Amino acid sequence: MLQSWLPVPSDSDFSIHNLPFGIFSDERPARAGLAIGEWVVDLAAAYALNMFPHYPEAGSAFRKPVLNDLIALGRGFSEYVRKIVQAALCDRESALNQFSDHLLVPLKSVQMHMPLKVGNYTDFYSSEEHAFSVGQMFRPENPLFPNWKHLPVAYHGRASSIVVSGTPVPRPWGQTGQPGGVPAFKPTNALDYELELAFVIGKDSAIGRPVAVAEAEDYIFGLLLFNDWSARDIQRWEYQPLGPFTSKNFASSVSPWIVTWEALQHFRVPAPPQEPEPLPYLAHSPRQNFDLSLSVSIKPNNGEEFLVCKTHSRNIYWTAAQQIAHHTVTGCNLQPGDLLATGTISGREINQKGCLLEATLNGTQPVMLKNGVERRFLEDHDEVIMRGFGQKGDIRVGFGGLRGQVLPALHSFP
């Protein structure tokens, strides 16, 4: 066990075993940092004090307003930075302690920014519990389409509208189906969240060359919490035959701190068995997931936060490696900063459902909050709070939370 001279609460997501990367600013411009407890290590300032002598070319990456250049230097570099900071946190004579006033910035005093420039974003549908329960609502005799257990189903989402935690989300307008098949144009009445994880791609793959499933994990830099906001009434009208479009392109939210692949290795667990056996390009052993505790709370306007979902990630059917192998099987190339999201993560029980579509059975059975308040879908000024962490003995590694508040729709439309 590593012991830090800097006090870190035992329930902190940002333990010395974590040290996630993010982009922050104070009175100075946005730059890279590592989170530890209630502090941010200013990596640009640490570089200026020669804390990372083996990578003299890395200074500009620490000063950029996104992490893409830092990520592109490879996992060897990011792990080197984490190890240097970990060692400094264990040594009271280190420069980090001696110059703490210069190198450590209180987390409560900083503004967090979008951690990376997302080039491409793909959203998968990899939780069997989610896919089955949604399918059962609309196709009770055939919940899973025939292809679902043969390939990781996905759609290509919109990268430009991915926003960092804390960014408000206005209620979107759109077309919704009405009796008789004539649509209405109005603000959505069925705004929903989706509890997901997103894998951050850390290096280029070559166009025209698939990534082998056995090598796929080498392309992952780290993970984020991900909220794929969805307008269910718009989605029902538009998704056939090509899938969701405007019902999901208006906003997706990410947590500000990227938890590295190495920090999450404490929480590897076997993935569930697959039946039937996938095609050879998707078959690999051992298939592994992460055992992470995940939750969603809703905080109504001027109300109390209420837990509506508590689930985990260990039973995801299609692993990150399989998602990457399938994504690139045609020769589609990946680039640093791309996001591959899991799709909604749900468990079997009603309090384990990662979206309101499932938790309310498509709005027919409300979720009860405190003091008689209920929700079928999200209302204006509701704040959605997602959390995720891994815990193994005294080792805790988490994401620090993901928040987003619903704003009213525009009162007039151009």
How does the average pLDDT of the chain come out, rounded? 97
Report which DSSP code applies to 84.
H
Q: Which ranges of 19-146 does DSSP label H, i.e. alpha helix?
A: 43-48, 59-63, 68-72, 75-89, 95-98, 100-103, 128-138
According to DSSP, the residues that pair with 123 across neighbouring strands are 155, 341
In this structure, the number of other CB atoms found within 10 A of the CB of residue 374 comes to 10
Tokens of 4: 């830090």
304 labeled binding residue: no
Tokens of 268: 């590897």
Q: Same domain for 84 and 232?
A: no
pLDDT of residue 345: 98
Alpha carbons 130 and 125: distance in angstroms, whole number: 8
H or E segment to which residue 185 belongs: strand 184-187
Q: Same domain for 234 and 175?
A: yes
Residues classed as catalytic: 130
pLDDT classification of 184: cutoffs 50, 70, 90: very high
Q: Same domain for 60 and 183?
A: no
Residue 276 resides in a domain: yes
Nearby residues of 177 by Cβ (< 8 Å), 6 or more positions away: 183, 233, 236, 237
Residue 4 resides in a domain: no
93 labeled binding residue: no
pLDDT of residue 174: 97
Q: Same domain for 194 and 82?
A: no
Q: Residue 106 is part of a domain; what is its CATH number?
A: 2.30.30.230
Residue 297 resides in a domain: yes
293 labeled binding residue: no
Alpha carbons 79 and 52: distance in angstroms, whole number: 12
Residue 356 resides in a domain: yes
Alpha carbons 104 and 263: distance in angstroms, whole number: 21
Residue 14 resides in a domain: no
Q: Same domain for 281 and 320?
A: yes
Q: Same domain for 278 and 156?
A: yes
Residue 413 resides in a domain: no
pTM (global) more than 0.95: yes
Report which DSSP code applies to 279.
P
* Least confident segment among 15-19, 111-115, 179-183, 355-359: 179-183
235 labeled binding residue: yes
pLDDT of residue 272: 97
Report which DSSP code applies to 254.
E
Report how many domains make up the chain. Answer: 2
Task: Return the closest-CA partner of residue 123 out of 281, 302, 340.
Answer: 340
pLDDT of residue 413: 73
Q: Same domain for 138 and 73?
A: no
215 labeled binding residue: no
Q: Same domain for 56 and 190?
A: no
Q: Kindly report, residue by residue over 237-291, the tens digit of the pLDDT.
A: 999 999 999 999 999 999 999 999 999 999 999 999 999 999 999 999 999 999 9
Q: Same domain for 298 and 359?
A: yes
176 labeled binding residue: no
**Range 307-325 average pLDDT:** 98
83 labeled binding residue: no
Final residue before a domain boundary, out of 52, 86, 113: 113
Q: Kindly report, residue by residue over 195-239, the tens digit of the pLDDT.
A: 999 999 999 999 999 999 999 999 999 999 999 999 999 999 999
Q: Same domain for 186 and 334?
A: yes
pLDDT of residue 131: 97
pLDDT of residue 198: 98
Residue 90 resides in a domain: yes
Q: Same domain for 73 and 216?
A: no
Q: Residue 376 is part of a domain; what is its CATH number?
A: 3.90.850.10
Report whether pLDDT(412) > 80.
no
Report whether pLDDT(9) > 90.
yes
Q: Kindly report, residue by residue over 16-65, the tens digit of the pLDDT.
A: 999 999 999 999 999 999 999 999 999 999 999 999 999 988 999 999 99
pLDDT of residue 371: 85
252 labeled binding residue: yes
Report whether pLDDT(116) > 80.
yes
239 labeled binding residue: yes
Report whether pLDDT(1) > 80.
no
**Range 187-193 average pLDDT:** 98
Residue 7 resides in a domain: no
Task: Show the domain range for 161.
Answer: 122-407
Final residue before a domain boundary, out of 87, 113, 139: 113
Q: Same domain for 341 and 292?
A: yes
**Range 382-401 average pLDDT:** 98
Alpha carbons 24 and 102: distance in angstroms, whole number: 15
Report whether pLDDT(414) > 80.
no
pLDDT of residue 73: 96
Final residue before a domain boundary, out of 53, 78, 113: 113
- E strands present in 125-183: 154-156, 162-164, 169-170, 173-176
Percentage of the chain surpassing pLDDT 90?
96
